[in-house]
Amino acid sequence: KQSPFLAQSPAFISMCSDDPNNLPEVNKVKGVAIAVLVFGVISCLGFLVPGQWWGGIGGVLAVIGASVLLCCTGSGASASAGSHIGAGVLIASAAIVHAVAVIVYIVFWANVVNAVNDNCDDDVYSYNQDGVDCDDLASGVGAFIGVLIWPIIVIDIATFCVELICAIFSFQAAQAVRAQALPTTAGVPVAKPV
């Protein structure tokens, strides 16, 4: 059974279901913005990869853009095309940063694995001297780095896809809001006749 508080809460109604006062495009972008917000928070884990903060920066941009869509775009006649455009630009920027992050993380992973393998090939480590089997060391380092970085890469790819969709929907919502703008008389908005 639903709580009576939630049933009457305007925030619950407007965030978790279609607002009948909004255009369909605005409701659609708000639904996708919730997913962007969740993936943006998760992709902030990119700050945990030493020196590779791209995913975290993209996550912060996504969280800000999704937050603007969810709380600051207005409703019904007060919907703001400018807020949708601003949020769309932030989310599109986050998508670009996440695409770059995926490339940077893959290059980082490949460089670490290659550096360990090169050290093995150059006899930096020898089993007789150090008691280290170089092949075991190389596979262990590759697996350790892979366990840390591949989940972040997968999250960033998913986040990129959701952000791209949300940015497109945000620009479409801005166009729909502009098309529904009130007519003006001498620069002052007037009510549409019914």
Residue 14 confidence (pLDDT): 46
Tell me the pTM: 0.75
CA pair distance 10, 16, nearest whole angstrom: 10
Cα distance between residue 50 and residue 138, in whole Å? 20
Residue 132: Cβ-neighbour burial (10 angstroms; 0-12, 13-18, 19+): middle
Quick one: DSSP state of residue 189? Answer: E
pLDDT of the residue at 113: 81
Question: What integer pLDDT is reported at residue 153 of this predicted model?
Answer: 87
Q: Identify the CA nearest to 65 among candidates 43, 79, 83.
A: 83
pLDDT for res 132:
59
Per-residue pLDDT of the chain (194 residues; tens, 9 = 90+): 555 555 555 555 545 567 777 788 888 999 999 999 999 999 887 787 777 788 889 999 999 999 999 988 777 666 688 889 999 999 999 999 999 999 988 998 888 888 877 766 666 555 555 555 666 767 777 787 778 788 888 988 999 999 999 999 999 999 988 888 655 555 555 555 54
Helix (H) or strand (E) holding 185: strand 184-185
